Every structure is written in structure tokens, then in C-alpha cells.
Amino acid sequence: MTEHTSSAMPVVRLIPKAEARAIRHGFPWVFANELVTDRRTSNLTPGTIAQLEDAARTPMGVVTVNPASKIICRMLDQDPAAVIDQAWFVAKLQRALAHRARLYDAPFYRLVHAEADGLPGVIIDRFGDLAVIQPNAAWADLLIAPLVAALQEVTGVTTVIMNGTGRARTLEGLEEKTEVLVGTAPDAPVQVPMNGAIYMADVMGGQKTGLFFDQRPNHAFAASLSKDARVLDMFSHVGGFGLAALAADAASVLAVDGSAPALELAEQGAAAMGVSDRFITRKGDAFDVLTALADEGETFDVVVCDPPAFAPSKPTLEAGLRAYERIARLAAPLVADGGYLILCSCSHAADLTKFRNASARGIGRGGRRGQIIQTGFAGPDHPLLPHLAESGYLKALTFRL
């Protein structure tokens, strides 16, 4: 399957009570309980391109349909006559690239941020002449060939890797797989320059696409506090906050993570920067290490905690908020007086207010008081669709204690 013409498209229809107005105004999803799901619709192959009509049979646009997902339709184009082919992908990617090229002088960024860039469920991170695609929706799996061809045409990348892993694919009923679609896989980690630091991205075996571009502005803000500082980078992954701090002349950085391969990449980054003498790593469970550091009487000028999503969905919200509170409670006593505590959350389900309250509670229970001096979000290469709160997942709170 390479393209679709409107004349050949199946038609799906909203039920009378569905919120057609929201979709007309830009909401990108139709939930399973809002669509007429007769036998014909239920039998559509996941990822089928179809025309969406409202209950009065007025065409609303071109959607992708997945009867196996709670999000049964995702809006691709509000023009009911749109043809989803390579030229369509080229137009979307050109628009996405124009924005990133204005922001960054080097081609290292998130090129496509799913719905917000008009490609529902599709993530594309760019690492120079290599790109990693996460097709987290069934339609992108089906149309991967024209998508990749358009990506090469627009950006000139010579290597394209598909990282088909993660919770989103499971929810779409898709199998997990990682493969090289174009070119050859690099035989070493890819060097990524960012905020004056050098990061090592494992684009074949690392978390997500191999690096988290979303924290770039928060790394930079933390680094601005870090000159001559002793910095603790908890959940450091490949050294996100720690290496940026060293690039800004931090006195020392202790990077803690549960993953030995991630810490090894962080050490390689420090070596490439020539700052290994100020960089120490410690492998271990974050809660255990925070407790041990307190027992050892350690304090730091800047402490950063950037954990994985403790509350990825509504059912995990309460347990997740308790985990964020516990992190804050254990981390606060490690901050020197007048020092800074940076707490991050990438949980969709925990909104800013809930996360801020949990963090403040934890700091109080840790015997400290603090003022919030900065609230950070994902960088501008991670645009937010105003109709879709889920696209604004990342929060970073900087407290001065």
C-alpha cells in the first residue's frame, strides 16, 4: 500500500451524539464510542485510510482507522479529497523542517512530534544524516515506504532506523520491532552536540530514539546554575543534565542511573568533552542511592531528579504522585542551603498542578522549604497541540531551597 485516492476510500461516520464541532476545530482523535462501528467498519484493516463523515453525512476529512484501538480514528487531513501519498508527506515534513531549521544551527532535534506536526502517532528524531522513526500508530506502519521516501527527499538523511518499541504500539495492537529501513546502522554511538556538551546516542538499542531532545532548554537552565557547583544528576540516562553542567564549568558531577549501558555512554560523552576528571558515575536504584547519599552526609549545590514516567496513565496516577513526592522528600536534604533542586516529570497523567503539589509536599516532608524560580517544559521542537493536553507531557520545576 503506497497511497490512497479519495474515490477508493471507505467511509466511516460519527454517531449523532459525537462532538463533531471539536473535530472541526482541530481535535485530532475520534474515540471508539463516538463512531458507528458496524461490521464493515469493525472489519477494516488497522491503519486503513478512510473518509470521516458527521452524523448528517457531511464529509469532515481524511482519517486513519484502527478498530483495535480506543482511538479508533486519527485525523490526517481536513480536506476530504486529500490524497495521502509521498507528496502529502513531503508537504508535512517541509513544514516541520522549516520550523526546526529556524531554531537550531545543527541538524539534531525532534523533526516530527506526532499530532502537533500533523502526523498522528509518528515521532521522528534527527541525528545529522541519520533519522529514527517511531511509528506508534498502525497507519504509519502501513505507509512507512512513502513516509521514508519523503523524509529522504526533504532532509537528505542517508540512514533511517525504525524503532518500533514501547507502550503506544502495544495500545495500537502492533508488534515491537527495530530495524534499519535505509542505509546501515552506525557501529558506534552517534555524537550529538547540544548545549555545549557532547552526548552519545545509541540509536539502535537505547531508550526511545537513543536520546531525549525534549529536555534541551531545561538542561540549559540547570547548566546556568551550575558554574563551580557540585551537581547530582539522578536518573541521568546518558548524562543529560550532568554533561550540560560540566560544559558550563560545574566543579563536579555525580551521575546516577540504574542502567550500566546508559552510564557508559555518559562516560564516553564526558571523555569526548575532556571533562572525565570532574565526572563520576554510580549505578543503582535511585531511591536507594538517595538514601545512601544522605547517610554518607553528602550535599550538592544543584540536585536534578529526572525519573521515568511514574504516572503514564490515569490508573497509575495516585501511585505515581506518591513516587514523585518520595523522590522530592529524599532529594531535598541533599541540597546545600541556597542550592537548587530540579524535579522533572514526563507523565501524561500528572498535570503541572498535581506534580507541583506532590513535589512541594515531598520537600516539606524532607524538612526543607523552597521557592519555585523556574517552570520548564519541552523544547520548541516538541510543539504542543492546544486541543490535546497529552502533547504537553514534560514538566521541570526548579526550587531554591
Per the listing, cell 560545574 goes with: 250
Number of H helices, E strands in the chain: 12, 19
The candidate with the shortest Cα–Cα distance to 343, out of 351, 361, 331, is 331
Give phi and psi for 163, each to the nearest 5.
-105, 95
Q: In 10 A of CB 163, how many CB atoms?
A: 25
Residue of 95, 87, 145 whose CA lies nearest to 118: 95
Q: Other C-beta atoms within 10 Å of 277: how many?
A: 8
- Count the Cβ atoms, other than its own, within 10 Å of residue 25: 10
* 146, 133 Cβ separation under 8 angstroms: no
Could you confirm whether 346 is annotated as catalytic? yes
- List 73, 305, 344, 346, catalytic entry: 346
Q: For residue 84, what is the enclosing H or E element?
A: none
Query: Which letter, b or e, does each residue of 168-195 get, where b requires 16 or more Cβ atoms within 10 Å of its Cβ?
Result: bbebbebeeeeeebbeeebeebbebebb
In degrees, to the nearest 5, what angle opens at C-alpha 336 toward C-alphas 334 and 341?
65
Tell me which DSSP letter residue 160 carries.
E
Task: Tally the C-alpha atoms within 13 A of residue 90's C-alpha that lie toward its C-beta.
Answer: 10
Question: Among 241, 166, 176, which residue's Cα sits nearest to residue 208?
Answer: 166
CA 33/CA 55 separation, integer angstroms:
14
Report the C-alpha gap between 34 and 49 in whole angstroms.
18
Cα separations (Å) of 187 from 113, 115, 180, 240, 355? 27, 32, 13, 22, 40
Task: Show the cell assigned to 304.
Answer: 536534578
Catalytic residues: 346
